[in-house]
Amino acid sequence: MFKVLKLKSVIATLLTLGMVAAMCISVRYTGAYAVYFNASPRLVPIYSVEREDKYISVTFDCAWGTEHTDDILAALKASNVRATFFMVEFWSKKYPDFVKKIDAAGCEIGTHSATHSYMSKLNAEEIKMELTSSSQAIEEVTGKPVELFRAPFGDYDDELIRTASELGYYTIQWDVDSLDWKDLSAADIAMRVINGVKSGSVILMHNNGLHTAESLPIILETLKNRGYTFVPVGELIMRENYTIDSAGRQQPAR
């Protein structure tokens, strides 16, 4: 009886080790590093980054209009801050001069899809078309490869994260939402951001928010005075040997 129980225990241990090994292989090759290790089977994008140096990123989604974009770029330049802009393909094709301006300002450009669809409703091939087509439109203007992707509406599922990773993209979400698209006052936008930031934060804003440009000098100078340093997302995130917890916090692998 003892031998039977011991054999069952050994078999159970081997099965557990096999499952862990399979999960590790899956994590290693999908790029969705270690979201499983917090008892969450769902893949998640990078919402923020675990770091102690008070580095943060401000990002802008570009999908509609350009009326306030020059003022945003002027505010960034005045504070010597480089940001990351996520562009929809139809926006980058309609406003190539602004793509050039943003690139010339030293800012980083990622894709925000081709059509601004709810991408969790698309299959893998449709996702690939959205990402490759939109990236190509940006690269034709800047001559630089696109490595970052933000899903429209913040909408994602496992297939989207996995497919983007297989194509070499880091999927970026945010942990500080300015809600500038709601046309809040500049003061309200600034307070939401300033009060929500922590080391490693990714701030979400929009290139055509009514009071976004007006809020930026307050945000940038206040946070710089508090010891924060702004860098593009590509310089904020880890490129390898990392995990992502169930809340989307990217951390060094342990």
Active-site positions read 61, 206
Question: What span, in angstroms and rounded, lies between the C-alpha atoms of 44 and 34?
Answer: 10
Q: What one-character-per-residue DSSP string does 180-228 give? A: GGGT--HHHHHHHHHHH--TT-EEEEETT-TTHHHHHHHHHHHHHHTT-
CB 115: neighbour CB atoms within 10 A?
15
Question: What span, in angstroms and rounded, lies between the C-alpha atoms of 112 and 117?
Answer: 10
Question: What span, in angstroms and rounded, lies between the C-alpha atoms of 47 and 35?
Answer: 12
CB 195: neighbour CB atoms within 10 A?
8
- 243 closest CA partner among 19, 53, 21, 49: 49
- 43 closest CA partner among 118, 120, 122: 120
Three-state SS at 105: coil
Tokens describing residue 82: 């480089």
Beta bridge partners of 230: 56
